[in-house]
């Protein structure tokens, strides 16, 4: 019996101290203003101020666009991958970049997108002239999508790989065109993977703050950027926590909408 | 697709691979450039590697990062394995709530983890620095280890443990001689995963690191904000190979664990 208690203590302590306590604290902190007085003011400010509401809508809109771009790129990738002979090897190659430090990948784009950088050199070479690429919304979305692609490809690939090939043969035997087979058989069966992918991409897209800083040049403010700014720059922890609570709510909404995707198409390696 | 004839699918895939790998190769190529920018290649040189190894601050930070990662993943592996054993022993709703609590830090956005840990350390009066970073890394690595060990525990046939008891093993002997060797591949995989999570973490560390202490990701961030510095390129090339080694190590372990499964796991299908 002593052994059981001995095992339970560290893990339970971890749950209490590092899972429950921080969540309670961020919720608690959201009811205090910058001078440390208890107030509902943060929520009142959040709900009435145009700035915060606009920022939230913007953040959701960008996250939506990033997720959409990632999905549009990743679905065909997963589809083609799934038909290759050594598909596990190719999948590994898609996943490999996720093991490389996020900051380094982002840093590469600072060089690629700069005024005299490689992409602009190429644009000039093909006669399109150079453009301001860094610090634009488009470059922010491109880099975010670049980072998220493997996380979208993996669950979609898994759900496509699980589709029984005889279903597709049956559909063809019954006279369906390739397009009909795709829309009526393949796509519905791959939906759990798509949902898991959306979940894996949308939530980080709401909260990424270092890409907005390094690539977006502070033009794009996401919920994550706002939290970082309130905590580390303006030191208004109350307001930062309030936005944090909003972000947690947003996370639950996303998880609720894409709910069943997680169990079916999600984890599997 | 049998022979190498042209398909649109293949072309598309090639394009995706180019996009995925071009930025990484780009960084690595310019780390060998004699110039100072990532615009024009100025001929081969090891200059930036020499700069990197002469950069005392960077070396200290690399060592800090490694110490935090190795310690955090080791401690997280121990606590996480205990956690998996606790979850395995639990039943019904208690088990489900333990699993949900375990996954909270897996699904929470990094900013939330960072901000809430910052409040937590401030309330407790823990000074920001090595200790706060280490504790945070241990905290977010534990659920990863649990998720890696738990499937192995579920695959372990209960009859094996019963057999150990029948043959007179004590609880401790059953654990150390039967259970732990059987789930060892999961534990190693968990350790590797935790190591990469810790090495790569930026957002959480950024919140809880304070002034005096820095890790690689945080340092790269602050240098990248000042613009291009080819020392970072040299660093990224080295880190790419470290990541590659970790990937190879991880896949070796999972492959090994696959073989092990077939020997140990008598009962299949109750994983999950």
**Judging by beta carbons within 10 Å of its beta carbon (0-12, 13-18, 19+), is residue A64 exposed, middle or buried?**
middle
Taking the Cβ of residue B74 and every Cβ of chain A, the question of whether any pair is shorter than 8 Å is answered with no
Residues B221 and B232: their CA atoms lie apart, in Å, by: 10
Residue B21 DSSP SS3: helix
Query: Is residue B234 pLDDT above 60, yes or no?
Result: yes
* Band of pLDDT at residue B269, cut at 50, 70 and 90: very low
Taking the Cβ of residue B24 and every Cβ of chain A, the question of whether any pair is shorter than 8 Å is answered with yes
- Evaluate the CA torsion angle B210, B213, B218, B224 in order and state its sign: positive
Which residue from B27, B147, B247 is facing A108, i.e. has the nearest CB? B27
CA proximity to B155, closest of B31, B260, B2, B48? B260
Residues of A within 8 A of B119 (CB-CB) are 22, 25-26, 29, 237, 241
Phi/psi for A115 (5° steps) reads -50, -40
Give the pLDDT means over successive 10-residue stretches in chain A (269 positions): 76 94 94 85 89 91 94 95 87 86 88 80 78 82 92 93 91 90 92 91 88 81 90 91 93 82 39
Give the list of residues 6+ apart from residue B108 with CB closer than 8 angstroms, or none: A248, A251
Domains in chain A, CATH or no CATH each: 49-266 (1.10.3720.10)
| Residues B116, A244: C-beta atoms closer than 8 Å | yes
pLDDT at A266: 36
Give the list of residues 6+ apart from residue A7 with CB closer than 8 angstroms, or none: B82, B85, B86
Residues of A within 8 A of B104 (CB-CB) are 19, 23
Residues of B within 8 A of A76 (CB-CB) are 9, 12
| Residues A241, B115: C-beta atoms closer than 8 Å | yes
Residue pLDDT, tens place only, B195-221: 988 988 999 999 999 888 999 999 999
Q: How far is B220 from chain A (nearest CA, A)?
A: 7
CA proximity to A227, closest of A42, A61, A64? A42
Residue pLDDT, tens place only, B18-37: 999 999 998 888 888 887 77
Query: Is residue B6 pLDDT above 90, yes or no?
Result: no
pTM of the model: 0.86
Q: How far is A50 from chain B (nearest CA, A)?
A: 23
Could you tell me the residue ranges of all domains in chain B? 55-264
Record: fold of B55-264: MetI-like fold (1.10.3720)
| Residues B83, A11: C-beta atoms closer than 8 Å | yes
pLDDT at A154: 92
Which residue from B12, B142, B196 is facing A14, i.e. has the nearest CB? B142
CA proximity to B139, closest of B119, B161, B117? B117
Taking the Cβ of residue B46 and every Cβ of chain A, the question of whether any pair is shorter than 8 Å is answered with no
């Amino acid at each position: 019996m002593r052994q059981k208690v001995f095992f339970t203590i560290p893990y339970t302590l971890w749950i209490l101290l590092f899972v429950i306590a921080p969540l309670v604290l961020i919720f608690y902190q959201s009811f205090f203003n910058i001078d440390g007085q208890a107030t509902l003011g943060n929520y009142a400010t959040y709900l009435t101020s145009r700035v915060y509401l606009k920022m939230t809508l913007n953040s959701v809109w960008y996250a939506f666009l990033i997720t959409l771009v990632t999905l549009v790129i990743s679905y065909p990738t997963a589809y083609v991958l799934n038909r290759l002979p050594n598909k596990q090897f190719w999948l590994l190659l898609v996943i490999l970049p996720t093991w490389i430090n996020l900051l380094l990948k982002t840093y590469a784009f600072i060089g690629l997108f700069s005024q005299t950088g490689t992409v602009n050199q190429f644009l000039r070479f093909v006669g399109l002239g150079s453009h301001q690429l860094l610090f634009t919304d488009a470059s922010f979305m491109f880099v975010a999508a670049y980072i998220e692609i493997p996380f979208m490809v993996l669950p979609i690939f898994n759900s496509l790989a699980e589709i029984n090939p005889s279903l597709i043969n049956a559909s063809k035997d019954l006279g369906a065109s390739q397009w009909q087979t795709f829309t009526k058989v393949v796509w519905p069966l791959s939906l759990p993977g798509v949902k898991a992918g959306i979940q894996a991409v949308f939530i980080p897209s709401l909260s990424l703050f270092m890409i907005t800083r390094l690539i977006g040049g502070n033009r794009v403010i996401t919920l994550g950027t706002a939290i970082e700014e309130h905590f580390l720059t303006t030191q208004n922890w109350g307001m930062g926590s309030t936005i944090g609570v909003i972000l947690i709510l947003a996370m639950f909404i996303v998880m609720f909408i894409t709910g069943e995707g997680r169990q079916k198409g999600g984890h599997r390696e | 697709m049998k022979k190498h004839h042209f398909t649109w699918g293949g072309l598309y895939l090639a394009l995706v691979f180019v996009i995925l790998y071009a930025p990484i190769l780009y960084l690595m190529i310019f780390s060998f450039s004699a110039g100072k920018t990532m615009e024009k290649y100025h001929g081969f040189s090891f200059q930036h590697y020499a700069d990197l190894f002469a950069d005392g601050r960077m070396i200290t930070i690399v060592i800090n990062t490694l110490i935090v990662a190795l310690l955090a993943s080791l401690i997280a592996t121990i606590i996480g394995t205990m956690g998996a054993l606790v979850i395995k022993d639990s039943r019904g709703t208690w088990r489900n709530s333990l699993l949900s609590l375990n996954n909270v830090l897996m699904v929470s956005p990094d900013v939330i983890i960072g901000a809430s840990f910052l409040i937590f350390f401030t309330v407790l009066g823990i000074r920001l620095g090595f200790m706060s970073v280490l504790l945070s890394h241990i905290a977010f690595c534990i659920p990863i280890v649990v998720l890696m060990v738990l499937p192995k525990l579920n695959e372990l046939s209960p009859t094996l443990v019963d057999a150990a008891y029948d043959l007179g093993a004590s609880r401790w002997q059953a654990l150390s001689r039967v259970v732990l060797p059987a789930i060892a591949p999961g534990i190693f995989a968990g350790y590797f995963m935790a190591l990469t999570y810790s090495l790569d973490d930026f957002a959480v560390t950024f919140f809880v690191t304070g002034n005096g202490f820095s890790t690689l990701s945080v340092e790269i961030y602050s240098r990248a904000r000042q613009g291009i510095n080819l020392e970072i390129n040299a660093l990224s090339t080295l880190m790419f190979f470290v990541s590659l080694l970790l990937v190879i190590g991880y896949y070796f372990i999972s492959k090994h664990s696959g073989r092990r499964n077939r020997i140990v796991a008598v009962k299949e299908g109750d994983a999950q």
